Amino acid sequence: MEPVADTDELLRMLAWQIDAGADSVLADMPIDWLADGLKAPGAGFVWPNQTGAQQARGATETSTAVSAPSGASPPASRPTANTVATSAPARVTARAPTAAASTAATTAASTGATSPRFTAIAPDQAVLAARQSARAAPDIAALTRAISNFTGCALKATAKSTCVYRGAPKARIMIIGEAPGRDEDIEGRPFVGRAGQLLDRMLAAIDLQEADVHITNVVYWRPPGNRTPTSEETLACRPFLERQVELVEPDAILLLGGAAAKSVLEIDDGIMRLRGKWREARFGERKIRAMATLHPAYLLRTPAAKRQVWRDLLQLKAIIL
């Protein structure tokens, strides 16, 4: 490929990559995840923020979740900075997850042992592993460790950080959003970017501070390109969210945005029809009143909608009086 001398063209190429979701630097060199056709994304990769022991383990990790069909040629090795892949990776077919794989994922999550970033297992087995790990957590600190070690959600393979919560371990008000964004992935805490700063100002308007609430998301890892989490991804995280609600013991839940509202309330209505109405959300055996409102990120794009959210916040304030 010939070098591009046109600065404007370089800027257009960079803008295209950002639109495609490549807006965070995770390593010194680009990574071709498709080159290792027999491995799950992220398997065996040494992430910059790992400890020395984790790097040593990560360098030798292999994925057992997929296998090549009979007669298939082995995948091409990952190209280095001075080489270019000349052939596409071999086709692969998913192999049914074994009981040992599910048990290993559960054990790693519950004991805090270092584990791969993602283990490709069936969705129902991922939910089972998450439920077993979540139930074993006696407090929010243990739950945070269990979530950080969980390998059943594919989002973890491409995220830099696990974002569990910020605020108080126990609170009367719990706030649930959709997913971490770029700033949250960098810092490792939910709602710390521009939308999070606006959320803090919204809460301050009804005399609430960070120490008065518990803020989290329906998934704990940033989706690539800030896309909406899939149903499989939210279901994999749901057992942890249910246990999180049990440990926080909120009196009311505020749902930020349509994706969070649909996931928690299990309703397909749009956010404009859902917002401003108290509903009943079920978390395990608990039923808690929940209300959806517009996401702060939407308010940054549509400031005129703040008046609607203000009415919702006044209803929330009435709960804590």
Please provide the DSSP assignment of 167-181 as one string: E-SS-SEEEEES---
Structural domain contains residue 6:
no
Mean pLDDT of the 297-309 span: 96
The Cα–Cα gap between 179 and 231 comes to 13
pLDDT of residue 80: 41
Q: What is the DSSP letter of 268?
A: -
Q: What is the pLDDT of residues 105-134, one digit of tens each?
A: 443 443 333 346 777 788 899 999 999 999
Lowest mean pLDDT among 20-24, 106-110, 213-217: 106-110
pLDDT of residue 3: 58
pLDDT of residue 71: 45
Lowest mean pLDDT among 15-24, 203-212, 261-270: 15-24
The Cα–Cα gap between 271 and 39 comes to 38
Segments in 112-211 forming alpha helices (H): 123-135, 140-149, 182-187, 194-204
Residues ≥6 apart with Cβ < 8 Å to 125: 97, 102, 152
Structural domain contains residue 172:
yes
**Where is pLDDT greater, at 312 or 93?**
312
Amino acid of residue 229: P
Q: Is the pLDDT of residue 58 over 90?
A: no
Q: Is the dihedral of CA 31, 33, 37, 42 positive or negative?
A: positive
Structural domain contains residue 192:
yes
pLDDT of residue 30: 72
Segments in 75-139 forming alpha helices (H): 99-111, 123-135
Q: How confident is the model at residue 306 (pLDDT cuts 50, 70, 90)?
A: very high
Amino acid of residue 5: A
Structural domain contains residue 84:
no
Structural domain contains residue 240:
yes
What average pLDDT does the chain have? 79
Q: Are 250 and 214 in contact (CB under 8 A)?
A: yes
Of all helices (H) and strands (E), which one includes residue 56? helix 52-60
What total number of domains does the chain contain? Answer: 1
The Cα–Cα gap between 43 and 137 comes to 26
Q: Is the pLDDT of residue 160 over 80?
A: yes
197: number of Cβ within 10 Å: 14
Q: Are 184 and 193 in contact (CB under 8 A)?
A: yes
CATH number of the domain encompassing residue 165: 3.40.470.10
pLDDT of residue 97: 41
Structural domain contains residue 312:
yes
pLDDT of residue 308: 96
Q: Is the pLDDT of residue 73 over 70?
A: no
Beta pairing partners, 252 = 173, 289
**Where is pLDDT greater, at 108 or 4?**
4
Structural domain contains residue 153:
no
Q: Which of 75, 64, 67 is nearest to 120 (CA)?
A: 64
Instruction: Residue 230: give the domain boundaries.
Output: 160-320
**Where is pLDDT greater, at 50 or 22?**
22
**What's the whole-model pTM score?**
0.67
